[in-house]
Structures are given as C-alpha cells and as structure tokens.
Amino acid sequence: MIRVFVAILSGVALAVTLTLSAAAHTTLTSSVPADGAEVAPPEELMLEFGADVKLARVQIVPIGGKPIRLKLDRSAPASTKMVVPVGEALAPGAYVVEWRAVADDGHIMTGEFGFSVR
Amino acid sequence: MSPGFELAHLSIRILATLGLVWSIGSALYAASLGGRSAPADRTARRTGVVALVAALVGLSLLAAVTLLAIGGDWAGAVDPYTVQLYLETNGISLGMRLAGLALLGVWLAQGSRVAAVGAAVILSASFAFSGHVVSHDPRPVLQLAIGLHVIAASFWLGSLAPLAAAARQDTPDIAAQLMDAFARRAATGLIVLVLAGGALAGLLSAQWPWLWLGTDWGRGLLVKLSLVGILIGFAALHRFLLTDRLRGGRAGAGAVLSGSILAEAIVGIAVIAATASFAARYSPGGV
C-alpha cells in the first residue's frame, strides 16, 4: 500500500514538474504611468491587458509607507483597458502599484509596476 | 502570488480534479459494467466514496484558495466583490459539481443506476462552464468537446480499480469476460476521447501540432499526450496479452494483470495531474 501511495505521488510530481515552466496567461501589457516613469501626481491609473479582465484589487504603495487601496468600479464590464481613479494627491516620492485581476476564464493574475511622483 | 501559494493552489486543483474524474468514472463503471463481478462492484463503490470525499474536500479548499488569490488576503477573500468575481467565473460549474456529487451520494447510498448516470453527466458537463472553453470560440463546440472528453477519460480511468479487483479476486472466466466487456466500451470511448481531445487542442490553440512546441501550453499538452501514449500501451498489453493469459488459466495471471492495471491507473493519475497543471497555468494562445 505504501509503495502504491509513493508511486502515485511520484506520478503526480513528475507530471506537474514536467508541465511547470516560466510563462503563463495574459498579463499587463502597458500602464499609465508607465513602469519606471517619473510623473506629476496622477489623477488616475490606466492598466491595459492582453485580454478582457476585471480588476479585483489595486493599491498604490509608497516606498516605506502605508498602502492606498484604490476604489474600483465594481459594475464595470470586463475589458482590456481599465481606468482607476487615484482619489488623492500623491506626495513626491516613489510608489509601487500592486494589482490583481480575474480573466473571463477564471484565471487570476497579479503584478506590480513602479513610478515616481516629482 | 508566492510560489508556495501557487503550488498549494495547484495541488488543491489537482486533488479536486482527481476526485471529480474518479467520481464520474466510478459511477459510469457501475452504470455500464456493474453486476458482472462482486469484487469489482465493491471496489467501484469504495472508489466512489473516496472520490466523493476527495472532490468535496478539493472543491472546498479550491474555493477558499481561489477567493484568497482574488482578494489578496483574508479580508479581501470575504469581500462581497471578491465573491462576486469568483461566482461570475466559477459559479455555474461549482453549482453543477455540488449537484452532481449529491447524485453520486444517492448512487452510493441506494445503488441507483439512474443517479449514477445523472451524476456522471452533470459532473462531466460542469467542465464546460469554466476555464479556457468559455473564453474561446466556437464556444458550444468546445463545451461539447470537453464534456465528451471528460466522460470518456473518466470511464476509462474510473474502471481501472474495479477491473484490477476482478483480476485479482474473481474467477479467471468472470474477470476475462469483464475485461472483454470493458475493452468493447473503451474502444468506443477511445475514439470519442481522441476526436474530442483533438477538437479541443486544435480549436483552443488554433495551431498545427508541430507548433505546440513553441508555447508552454503546447509543451504541457505534449507531456500529457506522451503520458496518454503510455496509457494506451498499457491498455494494449492488457487487451492483447494479459487478458488472454488470464483466460488461458496461466498461474498468477490475475495478479500480474491486476498489478499492471494499477500501474496504468497511476499513469492515469499523472495524466490528470498534468492536465490540471498545464490548463491552470498556461493559455492556449501562449499569450
């Protein structure tokens, strides 16, 4: 019985290992502000994806500061281009935008990009 | 998502898929081949119970980790908007799976073949309402193809444990007759499996097979196909050599056939794990 169990686990591990590598589903193709850009305080963020998605969560994290959770339009249909109001004036400094999105087929994507406010 | 979380998510998805496939397969075995061998029937029911529990545990954990993945943390996981996003993409298939598993419970409790068939059909159809088939065209063709693909694969894999039990515990005549009856149905099932699988792969990837090497999804599919090739090799060995030895009364033939069928089942588990893995991680278009 133990040998059967070990064999089953080995089969599963082999199959999973063989199918694991780097790339995955659709992801962020561009953003405004762009990754690494230095900009005036943005009033909104624009995120563009390779396929239709719904944003699940977006937050702006000041380096060394407290995350600012952005308010999403919960009734917005799935789209490749999503605009999210920032809601407050960002002070000069560096920020990271952390996002989560769900595609039409249920796949969940996460990512981040950074920008600086001058 | 951290690699550890992704691995946990993937492991739970594999558990749920294995539970569903073996739930369907056990029910289909009972409906189409039940009544021929008492040890096989008992094994089908035991497998059905284990599969039902695995499916329920797997689906519950999968719902929890998917909500956590969408929401980002526990507070986000229970946010009504997160639940809405989850149900929009998984609600129909989850509802069908719970209904199908309830029918499976009726089969296990009362032995009703109608419940067994109903459970198998609903659970197979549930695969048509989530994943890549709902985001690609032609959607109705893809949905039909995946339903048929799942039902054919599940019948094959779900029959293996009962067949192994018959080979080991029943008389050689009964076990050989059961193997023959399975082989006749499995031949039809294999045609359905290949045609439906070919339609899925071709329509989802919109590529010729030799181009599959260029995408992660395609490479994952090729790994799966390689494992399926091993499965077919096992099936041919059982059909054309080991069943004849069993029928001929060769000493130890039942134990050899039983062991070989269990090895085939382990490869079958690897096929399901590979499918759940590459389908969850990669997009057919390679985007």
- Does the distance separating the beta carbons of A56 and B270 come in below 8 Å? no
User: Looking at residue A58, which CATH number applies to its domain?
Assistant: 2.60.40.1220
Statement: residue B286 has pLDDT above 60 = no
- The minimum CA-CA distance between A117 and chain B, rounded to whole Å, is 26
The answer to whether residue A84 is domain-embedded is yes
CA nearest A26 in B: which residue? B287
Residue A21, domain member (yes or no): no
Q: pLDDT digit string (tens) for A95-106? A: 999 999 998 888
Cβ of A11 and B283 within 8 Å? no
Alpha carbons A95 and A65: distance in angstroms, whole number: 9
| Exposure letters A61-99 (e unless 16+ CB within 10 A, then b) | beeeeeebebebeeeeebeeebebebeeebeeeebebbb
Q: What are A15-63's pLDDT values in tens digits?
A: 555 444 433 456 899 999 999 999 999 999 999 998 899 999 999 999 9
Is residue A6 assigned to a domain? no
Q: What is the pLDDT of residue B105?
A: 98
Residue B135 forms contact with A (CB below 8 Å):
yes
Q: What is the pLDDT of residue A21?
A: 40
The answer to whether the CB atoms of A56 and B82 lie below 8 A apart is yes
Q: pLDDT tens digits for B218-273? A: 888 888 999 999 999 999 999 999 999 999 989 999 999 999 999 999 999 999 99
Q: Residue B216 and residue A21: Cβ atoms within 8 Å?
A: yes
Whether residue B178 is predicted with pLDDT greater than 90 in this model: the reply is yes
A102 touches chain B (CB under 8 A): yes
Q: What's the mean pLDDT in B98-126?
A: 97
CB contact under 8 Å between A19 and B274, yes or no, is yes
Higher local confidence (pLDDT), B119 or B278: B119
Q: Which helix (H) or strand (E) holds A93?
A: strand A93-103
Best interface-test mutation with A: which of B216, B217, B267 has the largest number of A CBs within 10 A?
A: B216
Q: CA of B112, closest CA in chain A: separation in Å?
A: 31
Chain B neighbors of A73, CB-CB under 8 A: none
Minimal Cβ distance to B135: which of A8, A74, A104: A104
The residue segments making up the domain with residue A104 are 27-117
Average pLDDT over residues B182-189: 96
Asked whether residue A16 is domain-assigned, the answer is no
Q: What is the 3-state secondary structure (H, E, C) of chain B?
A: CCHHHHHHHHHHHHHHHHHHHHHHHHHHHHHHHCCCCHHHHHHHHHHHHHHHHHHHHHHHHHHHHHHHHHHCCHHHHCCHHHHHHHHHHHHHHHHHHHHHHHHHHHHHHHCCHHHHHHHHHHHHHHHHHCCHHHCCCCHHHHHHHHHHHHHHHHHHHHHHHHHHHHHHHCCHHHHHHHHHHHHHHHHHHHHHHHHHHHHHHHHHHCCCHHHHHHCHHHHHHHHHHHHHHHHHHHHHHHHHHHHHHHHCCCCCHHHHHHHHHHHHHHHHHHHHHHHHHHHHHCCCCCC
Would you state the structure tokens that stand for residue B152, as one six-digit string? 């054919």
Q: Say yes or no: B274 contacts chain A, CB-CB below 8 A.
A: yes
A90 located within any domain = yes
Whole-number pLDDT of residue A6: 60
pLDDT score at A8:
57
ipTM of this predicted structure:
0.78
Q: Please, what's the largest Cα pairwise distance for chain A?
A: 66
Q: Which chain B residues contact residue A26 at CB under 8 A?
A: 283, 287
Residue B50 forms contact with A (CB below 8 Å): no
**Would you say residue A15 lies in a domain?**
no
Question: Range with the lowest mean pLDDT among B158-162, B249-253, B281-285?
Answer: B281-285
Tell me which of B264 and B202 has the higher pLDDT. Answer: B264
Q: Is the pLDDT of residue B287 over 50?
A: no
Average pLDDT over residues B151-172: 97
A106 lies in some domain: yes
Comparing CA positions, the residue from B203, B227, B198, B201 lying closest to residue B212 is: B201
Mean pLDDT of B182-193: 96
Question: How many domains does chain A divide into?
Answer: 1
Is residue B267 within 8 angstroms of chain A, CB to CB? yes
Query: Is residue A32 in a domain?
Result: yes
Q: What is the pLDDT of residue A7?
A: 59
Residue range B172-194: average pLDDT? 96
User: In the numeric block, which tokens belong to residue B88?
Assistant: 């929009």
A21 part of contact set with chain B, CB < 8 Å: yes
Record: contact A104-B85, CB cut-off 8 A: no
CA dihedral A117, A61, B72, B2 (to 10 degrees): 100
Report the pLDDT value the prediction gives residue B276, as an integer from 0 to 100: 87
Radius of gyration for the alpha carbons in chain A, expressed in angstroms and rounded? 19
Pick the residue of A18, A74, A109, A110 with the most B CBs within 10 A to test the interface with B by mutation: A18
pLDDT, one tens digit per residue, over B8-33 is 999 999 999 999 999 999 999 999 99
pLDDT tops 50 at residue B188: yes
With CB atoms and an 8 Å threshold, state whether A20 touches B76: no
Distance CA B242, CA B55 (A): 33
